[in-house]
Amino acid sequence: MSPTAWATALPRSIPIFTIATRCSTQNHLSTRVLMTLRVARPQVIRFIGNSTAAKRAPLSSVVASSPKSSRSPSGASTSTTTTLSSARPTRESLSFAERLARLKEPAVLYRAPPHRFYRFSCYSSGLFCIMYVGYHYTTSVLYAPPDVTWWLPHAFAVIVAVMGVLGAYFITGAWRLVRVIRAVPRASGSALAPAGAATKPAPQMRRTAAQRAAAAADAAATHQLPIRLEVTATRLLPFFPPKVTLLEPADLVLPAQYVILRHMGEHVKNPDLAKSKLGVREQLQAIKDAKARAVAEAEYDKRNLLTSPFRHMARAFGTMFRTLHRSLTRAGFVNVEAQGMKYKLDVMESWALEDGRALDRLVRVQERSNLITSFPQERKA
Task: List, for residues 247-288, the tens digit of each pLDDT value.
Answer: 998 899 999 999 889 888 877 877 777 666 666 677 777 777
Number of H helices, E strands in the chain: 10, 14
Are residues 39 and 159 part of one domain?
Answer: no
Q: What pLDDT is attached to residue 223?
A: 55
In a domain, 340, yes or no: yes
Instruction: Pick the closest to residue 264 from 111, 376, 359 (CA basis).
Output: 376
Are residues 15 and 154 part of one domain?
Answer: no
In a domain, 372, yes or no: no
Cis bond upstream, residue 106 (ω within 30): no
**CA atoms of 343 and 364, how far apart (whole Å):** 15
Q: What pLDDT is attached to residue 83?
A: 34
Q: What pLDDT is attached to residue 313?
A: 86
Identify the bridge partners of residue 107 per DSSP, sorted by sequence position: 183
Are residues 63 and 9 part of one domain?
Answer: yes
- Please write the tens of the pLDDT for every residue from 120-161: 999 999 999 999 999 999 999 999 998 889 999 999 999 999
Q: How many CA atoms lie within 13 A of 309 on its CB side?
A: 1
Range of the domain at 245: 178-193+206-302+313-365
**Rounded to whole angstroms, what are the CA distances from 308 to 34, 125, 218?**
69, 31, 58
The model scores a pTM over 0.75: no
**CA atoms of 227 and 95, how far apart (whole Å):** 11
Flag residues of the chain having pLDDT under 50.
3-4, 6-94, 189-205, 372-381
DSSP state of 224: -
Determine the 3-state secondary structure of 35 from DSSP.
Answer: strand
Are residues 233 and 329 part of one domain?
Answer: yes
Q: What pLDDT is attached to residue 33?
A: 32
Are residues 291 and 254 part of one domain?
Answer: yes
Q: What pLDDT is attached to residue 282?
A: 75
Q: What pLDDT is attached to residue 95?
A: 76
Domain count, the chain: 3
Q: What pLDDT is attached to residue 161?
A: 97
